[in-house]
Chain A
């Protein structure tokens, strides 16, 4: 299957700093990428949909000024958590759908665990 890679896999930062997480589709072009957040023992929650060359669409309750998403190319989307606070500590996961072809399955990155001290 197609490969989606995230970096970094783990990050620890101080409260008030910003953290950038990268999501890359390695062997396919992804018009659309998705960002999820997962708290311990809970399911994945969709945060936003990222479209190449346009502004991201955020789910209700997700602050767009806090979670900045950039999708500059068909293979790269970035999530920046601005002015991070301990409550932002979570597992962030990206996924991507094929630019063309495929039958709707999404491919997921390995996830990035953010810990804000």
Chain B
């Protein structure tokens, strides 16, 4: 799986959009970008994933650059409950037999 680089921490004001960047310059053509988050003392939670098109669901939007070397996770209206560590992971999809490799992620702190 390609390596990803994320800032170790970010702050965002409550109600604002939180934009979390991720660099994955060595991504392969068949690798997807996945985002998970882990709220303190809980298991990780799946957020969203994409291949090359931008994706949106009820939790977030995922913007992938045209060259696919970086992406941004957007939480449109951050709340205090969005404070968590966010992990950007690149892997081949439909390879359910392989576990995820977690980096250090970005600790997002939503300020009231």
Contacts and interface: CB of A to CB of B under 8 A. Distances in A.
B42 A43 contact: no
- Chain A, interface size: which category? 20 to 34
Nearest to A31: B96
A67 interface: no
Contacts of A113: 41
A1 B89 CA distance: 19
Q: Pick from A93, A104, A108, A110 the residue with the most CB of B within 10 Å.
A: A104
Interface string B22-55: 0000000000101010100111111001000000
A89 interface: no
A102 interface: yes
A75 interface: no
Contact of B100 (A91, A95, A103): A95
Nearest to B98: A49
A93 B46 contact: no
A107 B35 CA distance: 12
B49 A105 contact: yes
Given A104-B32, A105-B34, A46 B96 contact: no
Interface of A: 1, 4, 6, 31-32, 34, 36, 43-46, 49, 51, 91, 93, 95, 97-98, 102-111, 113
Given A97-B97, A108-B44, 6 more contacts: A31-B96, A36-B99, A44-B44, A95-B99, A106-B96, A108-B43
